[in-house]
């Protein structure tokens, strides 16, 4: 299996949509073949269309708010005493997380194809919140599928979705988390694909959704590359990019522009959710060697039993609480371009405490996983190593969990 240079990773799949011959694909009911094919044709055309790119960039700039900040975390760097620690503050983006890029692009596509309704899944509530914002902006009706358990633990985002006029549909099947929300959303699309567009909230699902999402979030690394050159005059000689990985949309977007660099120069570190310290129900299929299986239309490493039933996961961060992982990351793992590890719930909380103690930055529980590993590794690295953590979400949505786990002083009013 080989990663090719000079071709975007999203376009390195084969005719049937498989990366490396075995990850991804389109394991979908016959009914969805046509809408998926329509979307493929539309996207392949538009991504080469200068007018469309201009339109996208205009909304990214004026509405999403690009570029998001790239800042040095001086206090944290001094406290750790190793590599220089920087952060790409993607949570600056309109709505407070990277999910806005994919949501915006899907709404632009839906509007062009004449669809009046857009549906989406959500775990932490960010994908849903952003889709509801974008739908409102572009005059589309919006339905968001969300696990009942997640609705309980991510109330601020649920309120935001409703405020934006979206229907939030609770999903009670299975573990009542993201995995079930995606299934329910796909089922709804099966029944309504003639009038309705679907947005998959991460780089998962049938291959076209993986590609659209990866293409959209790549805005993050496009900005970062410019910011690095402005700051250092070039892409640093020792650069390490840390990102949490659930479905894998923010990390893929954070890395994409640097794909062709040698990994000795630009290393990618993906941090999965290890779950509670002693739990076996992690959400880290890449770290703990899960087998390849089919989930939500794509072949990927996924937590499952020997029969092929998908296993429930457990993580403090709803956004990472997913038994599978993007086919793109399976591909990056097997080609050894990226390195994957996991942080536990406790480690993420600890990292959140450290970051908020030293910096004026409040990463949500998802990027706190990445901070945890970055902090640990930065200690052992030289001063001329640049460590960057993608702070891809804001902790506002986690206030309930943080208050319960850490006490009131860690929750600032907003």
Q: Which residues bind other proteins (CB under 8 A)?
A: 16, 25-35, 173-174, 179-180, 183, 186-187, 190-194, 291, 293-297, 304, 306-310
Considering the complex, state which of residue 86 and residue 209 has its C-beta at the smaller distance from other proteins: 209
- Rounded distance, CA 365 to CA 403, Å? 13
Considering the complex, state which of residue 33 and residue 152 has its C-beta at the smaller distance from other proteins: 33
- Rounded distance, CA 13 to CA 1, Å? 12
Torsion sign across C-alpha atoms 187, 191, 192, 197: positive
Peptide bond into 253 cis (omega under 30): no
- Rounded distance, CA 223 to CA 52, Å? 19
Query: Three-state SS for 312?
Result: coil
Give the residue carrying structure tokens 């549909």: 169
Query: Are the CB atoms for 255 and 268 separated by under 8 Å?
Result: yes
Considering the complex, state which of residue 292 and residue 406 has its C-beta at the smaller distance from other proteins: 292
- Rounded distance, CA 216 to CA 105, Å? 7
Considering the complex, state which of residue 85 and residue 200 has its C-beta at the smaller distance from other proteins: 200
To other proteins, the closest distance from the beta carbon of 29 in angstroms equals 4
With CA atoms as reference, report the closest residue to 134 among 123, 151, 149, 122: 122
**Helix (H) / strand (E) containing 142:** strand 141-147
To other proteins, the closest distance from the beta carbon of 12 in angstroms equals 19
The set of residues, in sequence order, having a beta carbon less than 8 Å from that of 276 and lying 6+ positions away, is 314, 316, 344, 345, 346
Tokens of 142: 């919006």
To other proteins, the closest distance from the beta carbon of 111 in angstroms equals 21
Query: Are the CB atoms for 125 and 154 separated by under 8 Å?
Result: yes
To other proteins, the closest distance from the beta carbon of 310 in angstroms equals 5
To other proteins, the closest distance from the beta carbon of 296 in angstroms equals 7
- Rounded distance, CA 93 to CA 101, Å? 9
- Rounded distance, CA 45 to CA 63, Å? 24
Considering the complex, state which of residue 191 and residue 277 has its C-beta at the smaller distance from other proteins: 191
Considering the complex, state which of residue 190 and residue 354 has its C-beta at the smaller distance from other proteins: 190
Name the pairing type of β-strands 117-122 and 196-199.
Answer: parallel
To other proteins, the closest distance from the beta carbon of 15 in angstroms equals 9
Give helix 207-217 / helix 99-112 axis angle, nearest 10°: 120
To other proteins, the closest distance from the beta carbon of 72 in angstroms equals 43
- Rounded distance, CA 351 to CA 391, Å? 12
To other proteins, the closest distance from the beta carbon of 186 in angstroms equals 5
Considering the complex, state which of residue 311 and residue 346 has its C-beta at the smaller distance from other proteins: 311
To other proteins, the closest distance from the beta carbon of 393 in angstroms equals 25
Considering the complex, state which of residue 312 and residue 346 has its C-beta at the smaller distance from other proteins: 312
Considering the complex, state which of residue 36 and residue 411 has its C-beta at the smaller distance from other proteins: 36
């Amino acid at each position: 299996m080989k990663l090719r240079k000079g071709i975007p990773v999203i376009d390195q799949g084969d005719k049937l949509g498989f990366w490396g011959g075995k990850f991804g694909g389109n394991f979908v009911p016959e009914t969805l073949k046509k809408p998926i094919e329509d979307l493929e044709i539309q996207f392949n055309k538009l991504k080469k269309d200068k007018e469309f790119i201009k339109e996208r960039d205009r909304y990214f700039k004026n509405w999403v708010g690009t570029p998001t900040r790239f800042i040095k975390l001086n206090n944290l760097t001094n406290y750790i005493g190793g590599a220089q620690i920087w952060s790409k503050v993607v949570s600056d983006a309109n709505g407070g997380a990277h999910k806005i890029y994919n949501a915006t692009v899907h709404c632009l596509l839906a509007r062009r194809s004449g669809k009046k309704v857009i549906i989406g899944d959500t775990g932490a509530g960010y994908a849903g919140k952003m889709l509801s914002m974008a739908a409102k902006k572009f005059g589309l009706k919006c339905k968001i599928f969300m696990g009942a358990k997640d609705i309980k633990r991510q109330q601020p985002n649920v309120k935001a979705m409703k405020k934006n006029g979206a229907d939030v549909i609770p999903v009670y099947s299975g573990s009542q988390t993201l995995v079930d929300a995606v299934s329910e959303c796909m089922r709804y699309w099966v029944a309504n694909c003639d009038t309705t567009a679907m947005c998959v909230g991460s780089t998962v699902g049938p291959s076209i959704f993986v590609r659209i999402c990866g293409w959209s979030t790549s805005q993050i690394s496009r900005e970062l590359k410019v910011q690095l050159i402005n700051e250092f005059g070039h892409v640093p000689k020792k650069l390490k990019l840390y990102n949490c990985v659930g479905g894998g949309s923010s990390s893929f977007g954070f890395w994409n522009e640097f794909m062709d660099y040698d990994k000795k120069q630009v290393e990618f570190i993906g941090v999965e959710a290890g779950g509670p310290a002693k739990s076996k129900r992690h959400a880290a299929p890449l770290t703990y060697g899960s087998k390849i299986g089919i989930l939500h239309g794509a072949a990927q490493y996924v937590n499952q039993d020997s029969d092929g039933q998908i296993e429930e996961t457990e993580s403090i961060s709803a956004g990472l609480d997913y038994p599978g992982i993007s086919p793109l990351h399976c591909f990056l793992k097997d080609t050894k371009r990226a390195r994957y590890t996991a942080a536990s719930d406790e480690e993420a909380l600890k990292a959140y405490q450290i970051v908020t103690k030293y910096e004026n930055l409040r990463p949500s529980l998802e990027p706190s996983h990445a901070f945890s590993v970055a902090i640990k590794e930065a200690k052992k690295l030289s001063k001329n190593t640049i460590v960057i953590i993608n702070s891809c979400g804001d902790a506002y949505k986690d206030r309930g969990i943080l208050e319960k786990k850490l006490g009131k002083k860690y929750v600032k009013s907003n």
